[in-house]
């Protein structure tokens, strides 16, 4: 109850609670315990290994049901811990968590190997086996959703899991851990640890008895894998995603979508459309309308249902973003609106728009992860494809146009794992998501999401006489 009302109280309460929690954060020893439990739950002949695949699916389905039952509470907890508006946590994050688990529940008994007509008197087939003990390290920007994206495919395929949740946002994952036990997953199948990246996260990445690590944020993981046991690595990393608006686009829609593409979740999305390329003919009007929209963005207490934008997740992010804004000003970008702190308490930043941004500016190259929009000008389609691809990142991209040929030409040309046409941030658990280049490797979601959690075993049996 003291949570409702002033953002002041909200932030301070969370702050105090969290620092108390941090003193109880697990040390290296507990990572070992968790890996041991996961390894034991994965042993040949264990209840988890002997379980019908369809029953694994049923357990995931029950977990989805349990989370759905607790949606209101979980959304509150998520907002308290992360700062995202409650209305969004309840209507977007929670339903998508439930859908993700239900989707993967359905895959458990459908992930089939093949029988293969090889040469010779042999019968050959593949088995899709689980990889084993999977380390999963998840971020703070979508705590519950990222947990579901990781648990869904890993458990559907029969792995056991050691999950380190972000130190900034451990609360909802811990509640879900209880639900996992309640719905009946065998002991040791899922192990959830709050911990710090450099200690617990690194311990998992280095651990000789972890078969795979899936990580959202950070390239050191790959090095750690190489120097330990060559564990499999899948990574979902950052982005500086280009959002291309052609002159023939529906202006009102493009402005609104570009706005949401950047500002959603306080700008804390790996796929944020943080380079908005607008064709010369409509550039000035687009910048003006974007500034007007940004000025209208309601910043406030996340528990106020009118709020569109809550605080950034912590002091560190807050400082970093303000640093980028200052850099942008210094580099000569035109500050069209915002640019400062939105409140004298908490980590609130004004929705900020920069115009006349050049490709070589730091704000055009580095991931800001905050409510700061960059709008750049371009002339031709070929030019903008080249400029859009000129980034170490390649997570997502979009193009707004009515022209069918332009839409396909541009989307074919963009080196990005997801390309949106006349929309942005459209996700479906059925559709794979992941990055080209330094935005990561592997795909999450969809059927593709199962691949990273599967070891393929080929079995070849000698037969007296092969017949087709």
Residues that bind another protein (CB under 8 A): 53-54, 57-58, 61, 99, 102-103, 105-110, 112, 123, 404-405, 408-409, 412-413, 429-430, 447, 461, 463-467
* DSSP percent split of the chain into helix, strand, coil, nearest 5: 45, 20, 35
Task: Choose between 170 and 413: whose C-beta lies nearer to another protein.
Answer: 413
- Closer CB to another protein, 37 or 101, in the complex: 101
CB 246 within 8 A of CB 356: no
Report which of 436, 409, 327, 407 is spatially closest to residue 374, judged by C-alpha positions: 327
- Give catalytic residue positions: 236
Least gap, CB of 49 to another protein (angstroms): 18
- Residue 211 three-state SS: coil
Q: How far is the CB of 84 from another protein (least distance, A)?
A: 24
* Residue among 244, 240, 224, 243 at smallest CA distance from 232: 224
- The least distance separating another protein from the CB of residue 149, rounded to whole angstroms, comes to 16
Nearest to residue 41, comparing CAs of 183, 175, 162, 177? 162
Question: How many Å apart are CA 351 and CA 339, to the nearest integer?
Answer: 7
Cβ proximity to another protein: between 435 and 449 the closer is 449
Q: What is the distance between the alpha carbons of residues 420 and 303, in angstroms, rounded to a whole number?
A: 31
Q: Which CB, 230 or 461, lies closer to another protein?
A: 461
Closest by CA position to 255, among listed 197, 294, 215, 297: 294
Q: Which two tokens stand for residue 402?
A: 């009515």
Min dist CB 441 to another protein, Å, is 20
- For the chain, state the CA radius of gyration: 23
Residue (276 or 279) nearer to another protein, CB: 279
Sheet holding 352-355, edge to edge: 334-337, 352-355, 372-378, 275-279, 242-245, 396-400, 418-421
Nearer to another protein, 61 or 327 (CB): 61
Nearest distance, CB of residue 430 and another protein, angstroms: 5
Min CB(313)–another protein separation in Å: 30
Angle between helix axes 251-263 and 283-295 (nearest 10 degrees) is: 50
Q: What is the distance between the alpha carbons of residues 213 and 162, in angstroms, rounded to a whole number?
A: 9
Nearer to another protein by C-beta: 106 or 186? 106
CA distance 275 to 374: 5
């Amino acid at each position: 109850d003291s949570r409702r009302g002033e953002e002041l109280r909200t932030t301070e309460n969370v702050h105090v609670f969290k620092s108390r929690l941090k003193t109880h954060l697990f040390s290296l020893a507990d990572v070992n315990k968790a890996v041991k439990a996961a390894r034991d739950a994965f042993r040949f002949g264990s209840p988890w290994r002997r379980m019908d695949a369809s029953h694994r699916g049923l357990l995931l389905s029950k977990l989805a049901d349990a989370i759905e039952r607790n949606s209101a509470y979980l959304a509150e907890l998520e907002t308290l811990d992360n700062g995202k508006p409650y209305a969004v946590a309840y209507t977007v994050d929670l339903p998508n968590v439930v859908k993700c688990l239900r989707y993967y529940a359905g895959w458990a008994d459908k992930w089939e190997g093949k029988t293969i007509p090889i040469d010779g008197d042999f019968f050959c087939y593949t088995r899709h086996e689980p990889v084993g003990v999977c380390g999963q390290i998840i971020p703070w920007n979508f705590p519950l959703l990222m947990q579901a994206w990781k648990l869904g495919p890993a458990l559907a395929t029969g792995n056991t899991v050691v999950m380190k949740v972000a130190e900034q946002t451990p609360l909802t994952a811990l509640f879900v851990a209880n639900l996992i036990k309640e719905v009946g997953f065998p002991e040791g199948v899922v192990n959830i640890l709050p911990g710090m990246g450099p200690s617990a996260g690194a311990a998992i990445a280095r651990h000789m008895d972890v078969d795979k690590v899936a990580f959202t944020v950070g390239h050191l993981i790959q090095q750690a894998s190489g120097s330990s046991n060559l564990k499999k690595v899948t990574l979902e990393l950052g982005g500086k995603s280009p959002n291309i608006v052609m002159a023939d686009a529906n202006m009102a829609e493009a402005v609104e979508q570009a706005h949401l593409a950047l500002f959603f979740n306080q700008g804390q999305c790996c796929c944020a459309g943080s380079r908005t390329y607008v064709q010369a003919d409509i550039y000035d009007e687009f910048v003006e309308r974007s500034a007007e929209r940004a000025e209208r963005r309601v910043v406030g207490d996340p528990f106020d249902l009118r709020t569109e934008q809550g605080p950034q997740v912590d002091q560190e992010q807050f400082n970093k973003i303000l640093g980028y804004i200052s850099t942008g000003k210094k580099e000569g970008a035109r500050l069209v609106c915002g640019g400062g702190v939105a409140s004298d308490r908490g980590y609130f930043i004004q929705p900020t728009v920069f115009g006349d941004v050049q490709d070589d500016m730091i704000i055009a190259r580095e991931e800001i992860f905050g409510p700061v929009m960059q709008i750049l000008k371009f002339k031709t389609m070929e030019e903008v494809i080249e400029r859009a691809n000129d980034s170490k990142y390649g997570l997502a991209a979009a193009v707004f146009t009515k022209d069918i040929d332009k839409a396909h030409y541009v989307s074919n040309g963009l080196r990005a794992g997801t390309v949106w046409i006349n929309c942005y941030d459209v996700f479906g658990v059925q559709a794979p998501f992941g990055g080209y280049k330094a935005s990561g490797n592997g795909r999450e979601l969809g059927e593709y999401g199962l691949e990273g959690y599967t070891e393929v075993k080929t079995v070849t049996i000698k037969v007296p006489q092969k017949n087709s």
